[in-house]
Each structure stands twice: as C-alpha cells, then as structure tokens.
Amino acid sequence: MPVTKTAKRARRGSQRKELVNKAIKTKLDIAIRAAKKAKDVKSVNTAISLVDRTAKKKLIHKNKAAHIKSSLSKLLISKKSPKKK
C-alpha cells in the first residue's frame, strides 16, 4: 500500500491508465479477430490502424506490431487470384 501522498496520487493515475490501456488492447484484439474472419480490405485496414496506434503508445512492442501487420497483409494477398499468362 502506498504511504506518502504522492504515492497515493501516482497509484490513482496508474489505475486510470490501466483501464484505458486495457480497453485499447481489447479493442485491438477484437479488430484482429474480425479482420481474420472477414478477410476484407476495410476490416484489415482498421486492424492495421489500431496496431499502429497501440505500438505508438507502446502498449505493444514495435516488432510485435510488425508481425501482426504482416500476418494481416497476408490475408489480402492470398485472397487475390494469380495472374494468368
């Protein structure tokens, strides 16, 4: 338990930030699942945008963000038909 006044204030702030960060991460997970299920351009772009924002806020590591974006991009590439010769 925090003892000093500033420690109590810092705890309140960190609890508020924890709630916000958890909501952002949950929204990201839902968007990724929706993009993988739908496999359309709009949902993938939405998920990629959320990945970028969470990486910018340092909620996820930038390499993890790149990994997620790569896997989402592969969904769109595999959907395209190969060119005929």
21-80 confidence digits (pLDDT tens): 999 999 999 999 999 999 999 999 999 999 999 999 999 999 999 999 999 999 998 766
Say how far residue 56 (Cα) sits from the centre of its chain: 10
Q: Which residues fall within 8 angstroms of residue 75, CB to CB, at 6 or more apart?
A: 35, 36, 39, 44
CA-nearest of 72, 83, 70, 67 to 41 is 72
Q: Is residue 2 part of a domain?
A: no
For 20, the domain range is: 9-76
- The CATH number for 33's domain is 1.20.58.110
What is the predicted pLDDT for the residue at 83? 67
CA-nearest of 49, 57, 46, 55 to 20 is 57
pLDDT, greater one: 2 or 62: 62
CB count, 10 Å around CB of 40?
Answer: 13
Instruction: Count structural domains, the chain.
Output: 1
